[in-house]
Amino acid sequence: MDIYYGGTVLTMEEETDREGKVNAVCVEKGRIIFVGEEQEARQRFPQAEFHNLRGGVMMPAFIDAHSHLSSAASESLQIALENVRNMKQLREVLLEYVDRNQIKPGVWIRAKGFDHNQMEEKAFPDLEFLDKLLPDNPFLLQHKSGHMGVLNSIALEKLGITADTPSPKGGLIGKRDGRLTGYMEENAFIECLKKIGGPELNQFMDAIEEMQDKYASYGITTVQEGMMASQMIPLYRELMHRRYLKLDVVGYGDVNSAEEFREAFESSIGKYDRNFKLGGYKIFLDGSPQGRTAWMLEPYEGEEEYCGYGTLTDSQVLAAVKKAADTNMQLLAHCNGDAAADQYIRMAEKAAAEGYDIESMRLVMIHAQLLRREQMKEVKDLGMIPSFFVAHVYHWGDVHRENFGEKRASEISPAGTALKYEIPFTFHQDNPVIEPDMLETVWCAVNRTTREGRILGQEECIPVYEALKAVTINAAHQYFEENEKGSVREGKWADLVVLDKNPLKVPKEEIKNIRVMATYRHGVPVYRR
């Protein structure tokens, strides 16, 4: 039995926090058994071990509403390009990597974190550049969004892609004057990733373990595996067998392999088995706003007709909604553009009209970046949960102003509007797209400041407490775990985080500078600074 005292306890139970009398928490066998004042805790549990928070702030651990654990682990083994700002730097980084690691001819080389928006050239490297740079190794460069990238000629040849290969629906194989450019986006790029595969198993297992440590260092104890292809089933069965998962992981499988996932993870459907739970299925309805592949109802800025594009037909989306409903599973849909959001809403409404209990499914709209304010009523009526990638305001807000114009850009991630409609929204970072830094995300939601220092959509700013709810109790609700996680309450799991400052007390501009001092899962420390 452990008692934590000597600091502030932020319970995320609104009535309790308004009273402000909680300054001690008692934990036994992984559960919270007391929440209240220190003096009473000492009287009731004199035999407990006491831990002084030394002025820190204890609150429920953060819950990751959407990311990709295995992709983040895999990318940690790749060349990092986040700081590359021009083609000269790109050349130097790649050549230095080959030389330092003595990469042999024929070995695949992969790089991640590239963002053409941050390059001086505002472009991807072309095929000629890559072929001269890496003439003996197949190479894949992945955009920071994860939705597109470029390959060199050896890589294209190994994957069987020629100038005659047609672009798949919802994807693009780049060609110019009848020749391949090496550029791929959406479904075409995703198929390349599937064919290439991942690293050696033991190396990958170690990377998974290290990535969990990273999540814990940000105060997170529940993590999402946001899109599991069927090829990942053996990996997760092995992770469970070896008990490599020390955080709770919720997986969402490819809906096209739904039966395969249910059979493989029968013991994990809707409940944790060795820290893994099969939460439902995932579909993609469009692409990336910063990559100009998000599906919009109106053209991109400077375009007469181009609106991006969808990846699935209405009938395919409706079938996915029905399959999830028929198997009592949740469905997550990647929707960045308002046309993609419209498609998801319409198909959910159609299923509801056919008698499906859509509201109880808690359908999730992942990203919901350009979800329009006038679409909120339908979202609320359906019981749909928008999970906003609100940190886009800082990381790509200035790019969105160029792509969509000031008005549409100022309305991205409309958390303020969702709050007015009393919709329980969540926040996420889509790791590995950006670091799983929950406090930076809270800062973004409260301030909505871009990299260039502009305020983007002041009316969509929300109070700090509401932003914290989005990464705690609301996120627990998204996972149907609001009775187990998300707040500091007797009977819930002791998933807790200790911060060095109170996010409700510091100036809102300084929230992102708050440090995580310790993270506990089920009362056991999984991170200490």
SS3 314: helix
Report the pLDDT averaged over residues 159-173. Answer: 93
Lowest mean pLDDT: which of 188-202, 279-293, 367-381, 406-420?
188-202
pLDDT at 184 over 80: yes
Average pLDDT over residues 376-395: 98
% of the chain beyond a pLDDT of 70: 99
Residue 198's pLDDT band (cuts 50, 70, 90): low
> Region 267-295: what's the mean pLDDT?
96
- Residue pair 152/138 in contact (Cβ under 8 Å)? The answer is yes
Q: Which helix (H) or strand (E) holds 200?
A: none
pLDDT one-digit tens code per residue, 4-20: 999 999 999 999 998 88
What's the pLDDT score for residue 99? Answer: 87
Percentage with pLDDT > 90 across the chain: 89
pLDDT at res. 19: 86
Residue 266 has a pLDDT of 97
**Exposure pattern of 359-374 as b/e (b: 16+ CB <10 Å)?**
eebbbbbbbbbbbeee
Q: Measuring CA to CA, which residue among 395, 391, 386 is closest to residue 367? A: 386
Asked whether the predicted pLDDT for residue 197 surpasses 90, the reply is no
**pLDDT tier at 194 (50, 70, 90 boundaries)?**
confident
Q: What is the pLDDT of residue 57?
A: 98
Tokens 């100022």 map to which residue? 410
Band of residue 80 on the pLDDT scale cut at 50, 70, 90: confident
Residue 59 pLDDT level (bands cut at 50, 70, 90): very high
Mean pLDDT, rounded, for 148-154: 95
DSSP state of 68: B
The two three-digit tokens of residue 298, written as one number: 């109106």
Range of weakest confidence among 35-49, 104-118, 293-307: 104-118
Q: Which of 5, 10, 14 is nearest to 40 (CA)?
A: 5
- Whole-prediction pTM: 0.86
Average pLDDT of the residues in 227-252: 95
- The whole-number pLDDT of residue 100 equals 86
Residue 432, preceding peptide bond in cis (omega within 30° of 0): yes
Tell me the pLDDT of the chain averaged across its residues. Answer: 95
Residue among 27, 43, 45, 62 nearest 498 (CA): 62
Confidence of residue 199 (pLDDT cuts 50, 70, 90): low
Asked which of 108-122, 327-341, 472-486 is least confident by mean pLDDT, the reply is 108-122
Higher pLDDT, 146 or 422: 422
Residue 359 has pLDDT above 90, yes or no: yes
